């Protein structure tokens, strides 16, 4: 008997690795993408939305899911950006590329976002699929926190959240203590983790290990298709960044691992622990503090999240390229 597809919402700030995660989700039969919701993060909200629409157009789906815009800033902090890795347009500067005839290689998408506000759409879809909806978050958690405020009963409806965010036994990436998505909006991250919705946290502990090498990508994208071209073009900027910074020929694709976990939880090994996000520290704002001490902390430290701590990098890369490239 065929297994049922998982109904998911993807909350995202595309972002090069978000783009790969979106492509993975939309080419995976295990998932039924009900909506894509966008949030300010890697770049500004309107650019994130344009990028999500562009990815849908490149995939040429007959019935693309709706794209709804959400928060254009964190709950109570100034917006940040990570254009140094993702490029000013969030997709590795592909918007300035031209073809041989001088025309833009990636013109503005023709698809439009829906008029619905993302946090409202999240609440609507949760009500439509009681206990049957998975939310995969690939950016700051602002939209989910806003949805929780709009509908305090949301934890009773949502089946699970899979989140790319945090660093539990590993150092941060924006600061020594904090990972980008949690650092952008620590208040939202804390609210979502404390909400009681079953949550799996896929952080830098595993996404720094499971990466995408340039060599493997080029090998897998030899066939000249629009999608393969896009994958090469969109990752080139990030790959130069990693090469300059770390001497690594490839790039991290954090969000793709979170999506893979939504497809099949066996891609990571997790531990159930108590997690809180620091919202006040001068040096530690956005830090995800996981109680990994090897003895019970009683009621105060009751586990509230499954934290990913182990991954097989070659299984990750193989599965990713198999799903997202045209062979």
- The contact set with ligand BDR (CB under 6 A) reads 15, 17-18, 42, 82, 138-139, 164, 173, 179-181, 254-255
Among positions 17-76, residues that touch Ca ion (CB under 5 A) are: 18
Please count the helices (runs of H) and the strands (runs of E) in the chain.
13, 12
DSSP state of 118: H
Site for Ca ion contains 139 (CB under 5 A): yes
**DSSP-assigned states of every residue in 106-131:** SPPPS---BSS-HHHHHHHHHHHSTT
User: Measured from the CB atom, is 123 or 236 closer to ligand BDR?
Assistant: 236
Long-range contacts of 239-242 (CB under 8 A, 24+ apart): 239/214, 241/84, 241/85
**Binding at 179: pick from ligand BDR, Ca ion, none (beta carbon under 5-8 Å per type):** ligand BDR
- The DSSP annotation for 155-171 comes to HHHEEEEEEE---SSS-
The backbone region for 4, taken as left when phi is positive above 0, alpha when psi lies in -120 to 50, beta otherwise, is beta
Q: What is the token pair recorded at 148? A: 């929780």
Least distance in Å: CB of 139 to ligand BDR? 6
> Under the criterion CB under 5 A, does residue 258 sit at the interface with Ca ion?
no
Q: How far is the CB of 242 from ligand BDR (least distance, A)?
A: 13
Name which of 206, 208, 182, 194 is nearest 284 in CA terms: 182
Q: Return the bridge partners of 38, or none.
A: 12, 69
Q: Which does 173 bind (CB under 5 to 8 A by kind): Ca ion, ligand BDR, none?
A: ligand BDR
Minimum CB separation of residue 29 from ligand BDR in Å reads: 24
172 scored as a contact of Ca ion (CB under 5 A): no
Of 15 and 123, the one with the shorter C-beta distance to ligand BDR is 15
Q: Where in the sequence numbering do the catalytic residues fall? A: 254
Q: Toward Ca ion, which CB reaches closer, 151 or 255? A: 255
**Nearer residue to Ca ion within complex by CB, 259 or 273:** 259
Stretches 5-13, 48-56, 122-130, 238-246: which one binds Ca ion (CB under 5 A)? 5-13
Minimum CB separation of residue 199 from ligand BDR in Å reads: 16
CA distance 312 to 118: 34
Closest CA to 92 of 56, 126, 42: 42
> Choosing among Ca ion, ligand BDR, none, which partner's interface includes residue 126 (Cβ < 5 to 8 Å by kind)?
none
Q: Is the CB of 18 or the CB of 50 nearer to Ca ion?
A: 18
Instruction: Give every CB contact of residue 314 below 8 A, 6+ residues apart in sequence.
Output: none
Beta bridge pairs of residue 306: 200, 272
Binding site for Ca ion (CB under 5 A): 13, 15, 18, 138-139, 255
């Amino acid at each position: 008997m065929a297994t049922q597809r998982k109904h998911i919402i993807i909350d995202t700030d595309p972002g090069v690795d978000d783009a790969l995660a979106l492509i993975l989700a939309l080419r995976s039969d295990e998932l039924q993408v009900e909506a894509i919701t966008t949030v300010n993060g890697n770049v500004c909200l309107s650019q994130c939305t344009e990028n999500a629409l562009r990815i849908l157009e490149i995939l040429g789906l007959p019935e693309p899911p709706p794209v709804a815009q959400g928060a254009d800033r964190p709950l109570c902090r100034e917006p940040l950006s990570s254009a140094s890795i993702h490029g000013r347009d969030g997709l590795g500067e592909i918007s300035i590329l031209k073809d041989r005839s001088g025309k833009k290689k990636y013109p503005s998408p023709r698809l439009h976002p829906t008029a619905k506000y993302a946090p409202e759409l999240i609440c609507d879809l949760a009500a439509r699929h009681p206990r049957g909806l998975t939310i995969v978050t690939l950016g700051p958690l602002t939209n989910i926190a806003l949805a929780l405020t709009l509908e305090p009963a949301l934890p009773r409806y949502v089946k699970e959240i899979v989140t790319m965010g945090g660093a539990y036994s590993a150092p941060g990436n924006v600061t020594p203590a904090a990972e980008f998505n949690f650092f952008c909006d620590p208040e939202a991250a804390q609210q979502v983790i404390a909400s009681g919705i079953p949550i799996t946290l896929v952080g830098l502990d595993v996404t720094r290990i499971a990466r995408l090498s340039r060599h493997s990508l080029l090998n897998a994208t030899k066939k000249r298709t629009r999608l393969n071209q896009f994958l090469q073009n969109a990752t080139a900027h990030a790959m130069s960044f990693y090469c300059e910074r770390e001497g690594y020929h490839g790039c991290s694709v954090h969000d793709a691992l979170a999506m893979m976990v939504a497809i099949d939880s066996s891609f990571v090994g997790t531990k159930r622990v108590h997690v809180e996000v620091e919202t006040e520290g001068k040096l530690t704002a956005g830090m995800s503090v996981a109680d990994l001490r090897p003895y019970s902390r009683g009621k105060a430290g009751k586990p509230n999240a499954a934290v990913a701590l182990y991954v097989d990098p070659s299984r990750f890369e193989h599965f990713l390229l198999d799903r997202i490239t045209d062979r």
